[in-house]
Chains A and B, each alone.
Chain A
């Protein structure tokens, strides 16, 4: 059983009668990348702010690294959604100050800041003022500010917002590196494809409520609507259990009912239909999300 780093139980946060987070319970395990997903306004940032002890929850409990929120600050790194750094200070000075507040010594803070600036290709900017950096650069700098004190748990609120594809890739690589070093990362995002590529486990929020929670691969398998993608040069005859066929050039998307993909493949081989490629399709997370939300709305 992996160790629990972060746990919330029945978390509720209301503003002026509006419930931003509604009975949210989840766990984040050590060494994983955990995704907090949901459309804008779903309550992701509010949930993160209660975990960071910036807001007090109205109900429920939170345990971070074995303590209530606000007790362990040094071993947590935080990239808030509302971005900002001291614009008129030098890049290096900002990083050193923020790391010192997290309990890092001045010399270590300096050393680590320079190492991390190199990692995000900002090594030449250490002695420039923050305001001289472009938006994307400031975004990366902000990420560095959240990791420079070597935290055990990293909480990133919309880390990919405003980054170009090249820097998105860079950041994804850095987050994966952190996981392989044994760090735990929790990130929020509304771009499902990014989360799909990065996260081990997810929690999907809608209107402040958790609607999907668990291992990402497991979720996708659970929600896969028996779809198979088949490429063949032979004409496709009617097959048992296939209720729908979509064709684009020589690729067919088959929707199955009552049979498994395994059954279908056997059938194809028996009928000696040439198989160029055969793939059990999992639904994109986005489709799952839309389906789940629709289901909730109908209910």
Chain B
């Protein structure tokens, strides 16, 4: 164990000082900062453009009341809505830009429901106006002003204020829609983080292994430590390195996006269901271990870094499969395909991270996948170190499948 730690420490310290690592680590926050700067610079204009497109200016509406139910205006609308005697006067007001929109309410409104909306450009702004809550309330209030009291009028204008309760999730609803979104987002985020960590640190693992192989240091190392100790040490050291990098990225994103994201980040764990969070961390750690060990073994098989990376790419892809199929899962989180991926050790971590928040996952799947992962880690470490040992000493040629099988057989 001591030698594992010496290897881990060495790998960490050597790689944390590499120019490539430092540049990579700083580049992401820098790009983020640049993005923010650009956004701040042009953002004001863009925001006002968006706002003007989507929010109709309700203060300047004119109404021509041919039906008669809207005259006189109720006092609460006087500020934003003005009455015109006929359509001509109203159109003139639109042309002179006293008002942006003119509503003509015909005599037969009750029978047809037709309202003519006149504006200078027509288009989107007036279309939105039709859907506006204010307008709906305006009609309800005036049409029913003598028959119905104000509270009921308000209800008629906006009849449903939804409160969603799920019978499948026990207990009272927790914190409404925000909590539901967070329940999905946090594990999804952890899933992404896992895939990212795997890509980042397996990249370093590959680089290191390929370098030791080409520089021939490996034979000295193997005369001092076993392949298993070396591989385990590398996995620990580079895992720590990958976590360092991702922590820096996360911290910088919190700083850059200001307090709100920071607060959100801190409060996340409390809002998510605790069992999802705890299992998420368990899957994250197990998933990282499975992949890092695998990458080390596979990485040693290539004759050069490029080849190693191609071989490793196949496995990186596996970690990402659950992310790709997450679309299906929204409709049926417990379908057979998803359950199979949950049990298979290479897809289990990401799959379960995505699946758990969407539905109550059957206990057998949770226990089964964790047991499979725990069993497979030592097996992969064992096989990985065999491949590692064989691959590292074969210079200039890739081992055949038969040689791989032979290496695995030899105790």
**A-B residue pairs in contact (CB < 8 Å), sample of 9:** A53-B223, A54-B222, A54-B223, A80-B220, A84-B215, A86-B212, A97-B10, A101-B6, A102-B224
Cβ–Cβ < 8 Å partners of A74 in chain B: 224
Q: Is the CB of B14 within 8 A of A82?
A: no
- In Å, the complex CA distance between A87 and B211 comes to 9
List chain B residues, Cβ under 8 A from A198. none
Contact A101 B225 (CB under 8 A): yes
Residues on B with C-beta less than 8 A from A76 are 223
Residue tally, chain B, CB below 8 Å to A:
24
Per the bound structure, the CA–CA distance linking A70 and B226 in Å amounts to 8
Of the candidates A52, A55, A84, A85, the one whose C-beta lies within 8 Å of that of B223 is A52
B residues within 8 A CB of A83? 216
In chain B, what residue has the closest Cβ to A89? B14
Chain A contact residues, CB within 8 Å of chain B = 52-56, 70, 73-74, 76, 78, 80, 82-87, 89, 97-98, 100-103, 145-146
Given contacts A83-B216, A86-B215, contact A101 B221 (CB under 8 A): yes
Kindly report which residue of chain B lies nearest to residue A76, judged by CB atoms: B223
Evaluate whether A145 and B222 lie within 8 angstroms (CB atoms) in the complex, with A82-B395, A87-B215, A101-B6 already known. Answer: no
Question: Which residue of chain B has its CB nearest to the CB of A56?
Answer: B410
Q: Report if A100-B6 is in contact (Cβ < 8 Å); known contacts: A73-B224, A73-B225.
A: yes
Q: Are A98 and B224 in contact (CB under 8 A)?
A: yes
The CA-CA distance from A54 to B220 in the complex, in Å, is 10
Q: Using Cβ atoms and an 8 Å threshold, which residues of chain B touch A101?
A: 3, 6-7, 221, 224-225
Interface positions of B (Cβ within 8 A of A): 3, 6-7, 10, 14, 211-212, 214-226, 389, 393, 395, 410
Minimum CB–CB distance from B3 to chain A (whole Å) comes to 6
Contact (A78, B220) CB under 8 Å given A73-B225, A101-B225: yes
Beyond A84-B219, A86-B217, 14 additional pairs, beta carbon < 8 A? A54-B223, A54-B393, A55-B393, A70-B226, A73-B224, A80-B220, A82-B395, A83-B216, A85-B217, A89-B14, A97-B10, A100-B6, A101-B224, A103-B3
**A residues within 8 A CB of B218?**
84
Residues of A within 8 A of B211 (CB): 86
Q: Which residues of A contact B3 (CB under 8 A)?
A: 101, 103
Q: How many Å lie between the Cα of A52 and that of B410 in the bound state?
A: 16
CB-CB nearest in chain B for A79: B220
Q: How far is the CA of A55 from the CA of B316 in the complex (A)?
A: 31
Q: Which of B6, B218, B219, B226 has the most CB of A within 10 A?
A: B219
Nearest-Cβ distance from residue B232 to partner chain A, whole angstroms: 13
Most chain B CB within 10 A, of A70, A73, A97, A145, is at: A97
How far is B217's CA from A97's CA once the two chains are assembled, in angstroms? Answer: 12
CB neighbours of B217 from chain A (8 A): 84-86
User: In this complex, what residue of B is CB-closest to A73?
Assistant: B224
Contact of A145 among B7, B10, B220 (CB under 8 A): B220
> In the complex, what distance in Å separates the CA atom of A145 from the CA atom of B223?
12
> Do residues A80 and B10 form an inter-chain contact, with CB atoms below 8 A?
no
Contacts of A97 in B (CB 8 A): 6, 10
Contacts of A87 in B (CB 8 A): 215
Closest chain A residue to B223, Cβ basis: A78
Report the nearest A residue to B411, measured CB to CB: A56
Judge whether B219 and A80 touch: CB under 8 Å. yes
Residue in A56, A86, A101, A145 with the greatest tally of chain B CB atoms within 10 Å: A101
The CA-CA distance from A55 to B394 in the complex, in Å, is: 11
**Given A97-B10, A101-B3, does the pair A82, B223 have CB atoms closer than 8 Å?**
no
Residues of B within 8 A of A56 (CB): 410
Q: How far is the CB of B167 from chain A (nearest CB, A)?
A: 60
Residues of A within 8 A of B410 (CB): 56
User: Given A101-B3, A101-B7, A82 and B226 touching (CB < 8 A)?
Assistant: no
Q: Which residues of the partner chain A approach B214 to less than 8 Å between Cβ atoms? A: 84
| Minimal beta-carbon separation of A56 from chain B (angstroms) | 6
What separation, in Å, do the CA atoms of A80 and B222 have in the docked complex?
Answer: 11
Question: How far apart are B13's CB and chain A's nearest CB, in angstroms?
Answer: 9
B residues in contact with A86, CB < 8 Å: 14, 211-212, 215, 217
A130 (CB) vs chain B CBs: closest residue: B215
The residue on B at minimum CB distance from A98 is B220
Q: Which residue on B lies nearest to A85, using beta carbons?
A: B217
Contacts of A52 in B (CB 8 A): 222-223
Chain A, residue nearest B219 (CB): A80
A78-B223, A98-B220 are contacts. A85–B215 as well, Cβ < 8 Å? yes
Closest residue of A by beta carbon distance from B395: A82
Among B3, B215, B216, B223, the most chain A Cβ lie within 10 Å of the Cβ of: B223
CB pair B223 A80 closer than 8 Å: yes
- Report the separation of the CA atoms of residues A6 and B286 in the bound assembly, to the nearest whole angstrom: 43
